[in-house]
Amino acid sequence: MNKQEIIEAEANNVLHTYNRPEIVFSHGEGMYLYDTDGNQYLDFTSGIAVTALGHSDPDWVTAVSQQAAKLTHVSNLFHSAPQAQLAQKLVENSFADKVFFCNSGAEANEAALKFARKVGKMKHDSKTNIVAFGGGFHGRTMGSLSATYKEQYRAPFAPLVPGVTFVPFNDLAAAREAIDDDTCAVIIEPIQGEGGVNPATPGFLHALRAACDAHNALLVFDEVQCGLGRTGLLWAYRQFDVTPDIMTLAKPLAGGLPIGATLVTQAVAEVIKPGDHGSTFAAGPLVCAAANVVFDKVNQLNFLQAVQENGDYLKYRLQTLELEQIVEVRGQGLLVGVALNQPAAPIMAAARAKGVLILTAGEEVLRLAPPLIVNREEIDTAVSTIAACLEEMS
């Protein structure tokens, strides 16, 4: 199929839930994607913070190829070595005592909310209320959508799962008022992605931890986008020195293959019994072989230091642009938001036309989430391109 045939086939056969530009990508290598017309694009999206090692990392390709030739799927009715190895790495390198595997970030958050509800019912007199935050995005399944703030996503599918209260992000007084003895869980992104790349303040997260402890509620950190090295530390919660009871992961974990994970303490794990939750495809041998490579590479001190240094450099380069359209540059590591005083989507499109792929996070925020292997020369190229687009549209 040629480019136009592919676009027409999608238009005729794929449910229209995304508006895509008329580009068909054929392959990728490192920091770059290539389309069927032979154009090269510097990728500062990494598939929405997924391809942490860039495109076609040789070790990732080898692991996936070798595993595909041996065993791809057995279901969760049986043991497999790659799943056991990945689970051990996640537990040994985090606060968690157990991990539940699934296939996406939405599923990981769905599991977190289910587990919290059961803990609330079994341990704390059947309390079920959940506190979430303005700007938060936790997924599009019915449970995770119920904790997602954006009305545009929620309204068409109401009524959603009841018992969720929304509180303004970083509003300590409102959070303390909302968290009470009927609260079973508080769910929050330590750094919001979709909501505008908004970091929580350390004081706010510490106060949430204290409020949860005071009311026997579970603190759930959604690190689907900000976890696994994205901030320059292995987990974002370490950036804030606050430990959750449950943490959800997904996007970068398998480097482009579908996986999600819900990490829990023993106090949560002991309430969950066989049959309470499950997944046919989750953490199959092929996906876990990929995830083991990603985890092993990211979980190296020099790798994480490079992420932090390059993230600092990216923010510095953006902050020193003397452009009136830029209101604020924020974020941690290689998850950076550029708040504008104008719509962000036209800038995203203009950058794409110049060969640089970036994201938006809300109507007036550019989101930069490059593969974690990005270097300073590539950062300079991306920043210069964004600056040129802003100047042309000033």
Same domain for 249 and 357? no
The C-alpha atoms of residue 226 and residue 230 are separated, in whole angstroms, by 5
pLDDT at position 320: 96
Regions of the chain short of the pLDDT cut 70: none
pLDDT at position 126: 86
- pTM value? 0.97
Same domain for 85 and 190? yes
Chain mean position to CA 251: 5
Number of compact structural domains in the chain: 2
DSSP H or E segment with residue 98: strand 98-102
Same domain for 23 and 155? no
Same domain for 95 and 234? yes
Residues 207/199, Cβ–Cβ less than 8 Å:
no
Same domain for 76 and 42? no
Same domain for 36 and 87? no
The C-alpha atoms of residue 324 and residue 61 are separated, in whole angstroms, by 44
The C-alpha atoms of residue 357 and residue 34 are separated, in whole angstroms, by 11
Asked which of 298, 318, 335 is the last residue of a domain, the reply is 298
With the C-alpha atoms ordered 14, 20, 24, 26, is the resulting torsion angle positive or negative? negative
The C-alpha atoms of residue 361 and residue 249 are separated, in whole angstroms, by 19
Same domain for 283 and 309? no
Asked which of 275, 298, 321 is the last residue of a domain, the reply is 298
For residue range 199-231, list pLDDT tens digits in order: 999 999 999 999 999 999 999 999 999 999 999
For residue range 336-372, list pLDDT tens digits in order: 999 999 999 999 999 999 999 999 999 999 999 999 9
CATH number at residue 380: 3.90.1150.10
In a domain, 65, yes or no: no
With the C-alpha atoms ordered 119, 125, 128, 131, is the resulting torsion angle positive or negative? negative
pLDDT at position 124: 81
In a domain, 158, yes or no: yes
In a domain, 382, yes or no: yes
Same domain for 112 and 211? yes
Range of 201's domain? 71-298
Same domain for 270 and 331? no
Q: b vs e for 7-16, b when ≥16 Cβ sit within 10 Å of the residue's Cβ? A: beeeeeeeee
> E strands along 296-334, which residues?
326-332
